[in-house]
Amino acid sequence: MVDLTADFFSLFQLPRAFRLDGGALDARYREVQAQVHPDRFTQGSDAERRLSMQWATRANEAYQTLKTPLERGKYLLHLAGRDIQAENNTAMSVDFLMAQMEWREAVAEARQGGDHHELERLRHRLQGDVAGRYDELGRLLDDARDYDGAVDRVRRLMFLEKLIVEIDDALASLDE
């Protein structure tokens, strides 16, 4: 049966790495869920049903964490004993903060002007930038084991992912 104390990578018998095979993750998740799903334990004792629920919850949490690059990066840093200090450390380079302000202004202008095409263009550009940053994060975590550099990249990616959500919200508001 599944080890509830295992880290999320071990739970799915995957290497502890940022660069994951998504297909392998999906397949292992389905295998684990098939073993622990509460429907398999409907005739079991209360303790077995409770434990099954804990296993299924743990498997779901692990899967959700590992399938999302940002969450996977945060989790790897956690396993390496690095705190990203997202809540209390907002220090960023001036260049990065200026770029953030420019992005936000462009999004606000496009939203105010009802410019769906410009919002799509901004989203596409930002997604390209984010993809490159995830590649860099993979190199820092998997190849260089540069956890301090990875902490900085994860914190930046948190800002950029939030900006993508803001663009999506702006696009949705224009579609209404």
| HEC profile of the chain | CCCCCCCHHHHCCCCCCCCCCHHHHHHHHHHHHHHHCHHHHCCCCHHHHHHHHHHHHHHHHHHHHHHCHHHHHHHHHHHCCCCCCCCCCCCCCHHHHHHHHHHHHHHHHHHHCCCHHHHHHHHHHHHHHHHHHHHHHHHHHHHHCCHHHHHHHHHHHHHHHHHHHHHHHHHHHHHC
Q: What is the Cα–Cα distance from 87 to 105, expressed in whole angstroms?
A: 24
The domains located in the chain, with CATH, are 8-67 (1.10.287.110), 94-175 (1.20.1280.20)
Q: What is the Cα–Cα distance from 24 to 29, expressed in whole angstroms?
A: 8
Q: Which range (14-18, 36-40, 131-135) has the least confidence?
A: 36-40
Q: Model confidence at 91, in pLDDT bands (50, 70, 90)?
A: confident
Q: How many CB atoms lie within 10 A of CB 110?
A: 22
| pTM assigned to the model | 0.90
Max mean pLDDT among 35-39, 45-49, 117-121 falls in 117-121
- Residue 161 predicted with pLDDT over 70: yes
- Residue 119 predicted with pLDDT over 60: yes
Contact between residue 79 and residue 16 where contact means Cβ atoms under 8 Å apart: yes
Structure tokens at 46: 């209360």
